[in-house]
Structure 1
């Protein structure tokens, strides 16, 4: 503000008294305060002209207006429950886990003894992805139905696309424009599907006029069959090259999931007395998982040194020794159609 005030005073002729306490001084002081506030606001607005500083909703408006790209919404986890009893399950009937994650029936079905019912989480996002045998309760009694469980995990509940992911898709469109079904077009098409985390495109992988698209999910793990099917349907239904999806006529696209490469970790860990063995193990698993997510589809190896760093930076770890990755004290190569995922962790 002082600099603005000095500039204002300099513009006033010397025939006026500009000393403190006189009218000109006081008026210009007030103007300087107002202009200083406006200047701060202008700095904020200027910073928002850089897409790197944008978040929801400005980022969404910006990328949609310029490239027609829209944020992928959160998805609902789906699965099947095994119902026991004699009665009728109606669409919308509720089942839940002991922790209160609720699912609703997506169909009406008569049950005589046992029967399978398709369900969907009531809240979108990964909280609906629960392990097998966890859906065991009915918050509202269903006449004649005595028990429920889920034989398989529920899956495909994904978070809303992050600002970083949306920004990345915008950069792809600007810096490597998708056009005429080039590689970047297939990359862009695949990432338009909610739940897709990263993509690799392999032209002519299965012969002339073929494209193979390899995907992983939002958690940087192998994609589920249903997610693969959604991407396949979007780009080239049935891999027939008939132009019924985004891909042009004659281009047969084959969408597959990356294979998971289990990274089994063994090390001797010295833990802090403030943590239990189970707490340290959980922290190490989280730390290594975050590292593996950061390199998925980006690096072609798992760094032995970075795994060691992840262990050492885990809360509760004071030191470690004897680190082995899949039985060896060395980096691990990740295939071009593989994604590294955490396997067993032993911290004896």
Structure 2
């Protein structure tokens, strides 16, 4: 809107209003007096251009996007803490703290799969749920031997399975997508748009697909993926509980996760000399992963031609031959209850 209001344009306009019998050359008194003012005015016009972007849903970012969507009752999902399984050789107190790498964990409950016997303190195998004290995905990353922070002696503790994955704070793209889902979709009276909206309200859920009347009248299936568009079955119960709280009376709801369809890729490539084979393979794998995520709940096949196009457009690739998807040269069909995931990607160089 204010693109024309540059420093040079403003200064020229200001100098044009000074009579010609006054020295207006650079370095003159009037020039030096007006130049700082013109600069500050150009900065204000630049900020005004940006401020306009910050009040609309398609361009607002960070706290400004929060304020836009809050008018519609939408709140950014907060980061959550991972809950992990900890196995120990004897019982430990609830609330005890443990560390591994840059993370710390607090024991919050005892699990049922324990083989320890006898009085408290006897040896065996005990399992506990431990909550990461750091929020976000960092709590999902590490596994291995834990170090006790509370000076409990003679205990061997190991951090193993993820019970509930930690999630980062909802990013702008996901929040904007939920905003568009609300304002652009006619979600009323418990229709399919409503169920998708309710599913997306649960922290950790990245997308959802709704199957009305999937098992007869009064039935609804909700299929979900997490915020990284991957399968996380631990979210199913949370989504089910939330929908049960808000849905209309009468519907039987089933919440499930899709099955994975592995896409294996192999090809022979000719390098153009700008990148190593390992670098090309890493870049191509990243491009394929991004493409597959974009097809989730949208496409019913993975395009052989698209994969070839991604390979040819990867920096460092001059040409390719013998491209195979799951050992074939055709599109890979994806059922509506499946999502594609990248399997083994094997690129071999040829002279």
| Interval containing the TM-score (normalised by the shorter chain) | 0.7 to 0.9
User: Following superposition of structure 1 onto structure 2, how do residues 83-94 of structure 1 map, counting pairs within 5 Å?
Assistant: 83-84=88-89, 86-94=90-98
**TM-score, reference length from structure 1:** 0.82
Counterpart Cα distance in 2 of 1:200 and 1:304: 25
Question: What is the aligned residue count?
Answer: 329
1:128 is aligned to: 139
| TM norm structure 2 | 0.81
Q: CA offset at residue 39 of structure 1?
A: 2.1
- Say if 2:83 is the partner of 1:74: no
1:206-285 matched pairs, under 5 angstroms: 206-224=215-233, 226-236=234-244, 245-270=245-270, 275=276, 281-285=281-285
Say if 1:276 and 1:2 are closer, same or farther in 2 by CA, change over 3 A.
closer
Structure 2: gaps of 5 or more residues: 1-6, 112-119
2:158 is equivalent to residue 144 of structure 1: no
- Counterpart position of 2:46: 40
Match of 1:329 in 2: 329
Which whole-Å CA distance do the structure 1 matches of 2:198 and 2:317 have between them? 43
Structure 1 alignment gaps of length 5 or more: 237-244
Taking the TM superposition and a 5 Å limit, the aligned residue runs for 1:17-32 are: 20=24, 31-32=37-38
Distance 1:158 1:289 in 2: 20
Question: CA separation in 2, counterparts of 1:182 and 1:101?
Answer: 43
Determine helix, strand or coil for the equivalent of 2:165. Answer: coil
C-alpha RMSD over aligned residues:
3.1
Do 2:302 and 2:331's aligned partners in 1 also have CA atoms closer than 8 Å? Answer: yes
Separation in structure 2 between the aligned mates of residue 155 and residue 165 of structure 1, nearest angstrom: 20
**Deviates most, 284-293 or 335-344:** 284-293
Aligned equivalents of 1:316, 1:328: Cα separation in 2: 25
SS in 2 for 1:285: helix
Distance in 1 (CA, whole Å) between partners of 2:315 and 2:132 is 33
Report if aligned partners of 2:205, 2:225 keep a CA contact under 8 Å in 1.
yes
Aligned twin of 1:106: 108
CA separation of 1:324/1:25 partners in 2, compared to 1, >3 Å: closer, same or farther?
closer
Residue of structure 2 equivalent to 1:198: 207
Change (3 A) 1:31 1:220: closer
User: What is the Cα deviation at residue 148 of structure 1?
Assistant: 2.7
The superposition leaves residues 68-99 of structure 1 with CA deviations (integer Å, 9 ceiling, x where unpaired) of 10111122222212111x45333132142xx4
Correspondence for 1:188: 197
